[in-house]
Every structure is written in C-alpha cells, then in structure tokens.
Amino acid sequence: MTRELRSIYPPIEPRLTGHLRVSRLHEIYYEECGNPIGTPVVFVHGGPGGSTEPNNRRFFDPDAYRIILFHQRGCGNSRPHSCLEENTTWHLVEDMERLRSHLGIERWIVFGGSWGSTLSLAYTETHPESVRALIIRGIWLVRPHEIRWFYQEGASFIFPDAWEKYLEPIPVQEHGDLLGAYHRRLTGDDRVVRAEAARAWCTWEALTLKLVPHPPDYIEQYASGDHADALARLESHYYINGAFLKSPNQLIEDVDRIRHIPAAIVQGRYDVICPSSAAWDLHRRWPEAEFSITPDAGHIAFEPGTADFLIRATDRFRGAT
C-alpha cells in the first residue's frame, strides 16, 4: 500500500525578529516562531546568497519546536547586502554559533538543504557539542567535480536549451572556464555587466530546480533584482574558492566527528543541481544516518516526496535531547 504523503504545517508568523552584529561589517537577520519553550531548531538556507521564505517555517510542528531562521552574511535582510568581504564558510559557521549563544540555546537541531546542507555539515563538524540532531537534503559537498558538473559541463547535456541562455553573456573564447568568466563579471565595476551576468546565472539555476519546472513568473522573480545579485555573486565567490574548505573532501573526511549525532539525509533522485552521488558518498561514509532517495523529485524541498520525508524526520526528532 502506498503511504499518504505528509504535507507541510500551516502558515505561521514570527513572534520576534532582529539583527545580530557578527563583525565590524556584518549584521545578520534572524527570526523566531513557534513554541518559545519547544525543541530549538535552526533552518539553514541555501545559496550561498539565498535567504528564507515564509514556507520554510512550515517544516516544523509549531507546538513542539522553537523555530529559528536567519539570513547568512550578505543576503536577504542581512546587512550589508551582497557583500563579499569577511564572507567565508567559516565566518558563517561562527555566526551560527554566535546566534545560538545570543538566543540562549544550549543545543539545537540543524536543518539545511542544498548549500544549507554544506553549511550544516561544516557547522556540525566544527561544533558537534551544540547539535542535537541533523536533517539535511539536496546534498552539496562543493567538491571540484560537483562544481564542474553544474557550472561547466554535465547538467548542460540535460538542459541544453537552458544552457544556451547561461552561455549568452560569456564570449566563446572564455567558455573553457565559465565559473571564472562569471566571477570576473559578478565582481567587476560595470553594474550593467554585473546585472546581466547575475540574471543569466540565476535563470540557469531556476530552470533546473525542479523535476517539473517552475512557471515563467517564478523564474523571472528568481533571476531579478537584489536576490539575483546576492545569489550569483556569493555563489561564484564561494565556488571559485572551493567553499573555503581545507580540502576538497573535508566534509566527508570529518564525518567521524559527528557519527554519534542522530541524522537524516534525503536526496531527490533527479536533482540536477546537486546530483545524488554526493548524497550517496555521504551515506556510505555515515551509514548510521537515516537515508532516503525520493524517486520522483528534483532539487527543492517542497516537492511532495521530499517534503514528506522532511516532515516525518522533524516529527521524529522533535524530542531529541
């Protein structure tokens, strides 16, 4: 018998919001909703350079969870916007720890997807004593072959029509290093060139997010304005620097530090942005973690099978100590 898929919880509004200064330059935005004495959980958004949306609050039972969302440096409501200075994985890891302490939380559950899975792993491996449980999906280990697959050659064979749009801002003579070509434009002084590059970069991402693509109005919104500028600039900044990891396999190599922590991993079978090989490699290194491949999903968390697994995981872990 096919089980009935769980759906996300009803909409909920924050009961408090704020900014936390984390350096001389950066302030990060955060919000809190749900039960103030519930199990603390932090939602780690994707990108780098993305932000949160109201539906992200709905993966958690609001009666059981104290739900924390925040915007990483340089994006969303954090200040200054689209700033690359003092912006590395390890800055973000310590921002999370500072936020946990600021909120008076001893230990929390960490929940992240896509780049959020990367940062969640980096944080948990650095501060295992602060984590009750880990729930991650759309695994992205930021290894060179993963970056090459999406930004140079690989996903291009599956979406050749979308790939043509991605190539448009880059002259043919620079096609041998598309990440470098985009990074130069996204960090250059010409605002028109920067905006054109950000739009093309984010359109490519938007067109590949789901098994069944988003409608045109969503893609237009995703690839426009401040959102696109921060997302494209920060992603290219992080990826050209290998996410500032100590080695390409650091997140796999350091799994032994966290194998004692309850964990769940979910991966869409047809995730083109973060192919399943990364999730599989993590699963093989960490067999104690719950593992599921959604057979009819792409990259995003809200596809029905993936959302079902995530909701069931947060329900199981809500009493984690």
The whole-angstrom separation of Cα 84 and Cα 81 is 9
Phi, psi of 185 (to 5 degrees): -70, -40
229 a catalytic residue: no
Q: Choose, from 61, 95, 271, 308, the residue flagged as catalytic.
A: 271
Residue type, 309: F
Whether the Cβ atoms of residue 310 and residue 301 lie closer than 8 Å to each other? yes
114 a catalytic residue: yes
117 a catalytic residue: no
**Taking the C-alpha atoms of 176, 181, 182 and 187 in order, what is their torsion angle to the nearest 10 degrees?**
160
Q: Choose, from 127, 283, 299, 308, the residue flagged as catalytic.
A: 299
The whole-angstrom separation of Cα 71 and Cα 67 is 14
Q: Choose, from 51, 114, 130, 292, the residue flagged as catalytic.
A: 114
Tell me the three-class secondary structure of the chain, residue by residue. CCCCCCCCCCCCCCCEEEEEECCCCCEEEEEEEECCCCEEEEEECCCCCCCCCHHHHHHCCCCCEEEEEECCCCCCCCECCCCCCCCCHHHHHHHHHHHHHHCCCCCEEEEEECHHHHHHHHHHHHCHHHEEEEEEECCCCCCHHHHHHHHCCCHHHCCHHHHHHHHCCCCHHHHHHHHHHHHHHHCCCCHHHHHHHHHHHHHHHHHCCCCCCCCHHHHHHHCCHHHHHHHHHHHHHHHHCHHHCCCCCHHHHCHHHCCCCCEEEEEECCCCCCCHHHHHHHHHHCCCCEEEEECCCCCCCCCHHHHHHHHHHHHHHCCCC
**Annotated catalytic sites, by residue?**
114, 271, 299
